[in-house]
Amino acid sequence: MTVSVAPPSFACVNGYVPQEGKLVIRPGDTVVQVGDSITDYAVINAFATMRTNVDAFYTSRGLTPPTWINEGVSGDTTQGVINRLNTITARDLDVVTLFIGVNDVQASVANATIATNLTTIIDAIFAARPTVRMLVIPPWLIFGVKPNGSNAEDSDMNTVRASTSAAAAVRGAPFVDIRSLYFAGPETALLADSVHPNAARKLWICQQVEFRLNLRTE
């Protein structure tokens, strides 16, 4: 089998960096993107550049690009995703991206409840669609000001990050730790408000996700 990966010509990637734990995407896949307003195509739409780049990778080779399905709901929580799991899993899906949890923390949902909900979501999707490929992303920050530990809700966000990582690991799902990556980078104001990424940070999120993609040509 010939395997191709996203080239460094991607607009929001400063050179492709090989990573462990890749999300495989194939021509014509149906990709369902589950999340809140950061994912929602009609609101923040943080993955727009990534989708454009992936589409271009396939169309430039005469291949069918993925079908992208918006399951981002503004203001949604882990419980909200659980409430609509039947709708999500009823789709003929090949790939899922899961990026949820920040609204739980803002609403002071107990960390143990968030962890349980994340596991429930991941297990339910795999139970309904055993061959699905999933990429899991933790909530990244609230009132993000460097360094980690100096911001509102950092303790809870770090706990939820760990829970998200653990839930992904149980199923062997690739995990993009954008929270840790953010704090490891240069100090920059990249929030449009208390939680939503500005234009520069949306490109950065795209970059971190693209680093984890394995775009196959067959």
Residue 72 confidence (pLDDT)? 95
Average pLDDT over residues 59-87: 96
pLDDT bracket for residue 100 (50, 70, 90): very high
Average pLDDT over residues 38-52: 92
Average pLDDT over residues 186-207: 76
**Total Cβ atoms within 10 A of residue 103:** 23
pLDDT bracket for residue 17 (50, 70, 90): very low
Parallel, antiparallel, or unpaired: how do β-strands 213-215 and 23-25 relate? parallel
pLDDT greater than 50 at residue 10: no
Of 160 and 40, which is predicted with more confidence? 40
Residue 64 confidence (pLDDT)? 97
- 23-215: CATH topology: Rossmann fold (3.40.50)
pLDDT bracket for residue 78 (50, 70, 90): very high
Average pLDDT over residues 50-55: 94
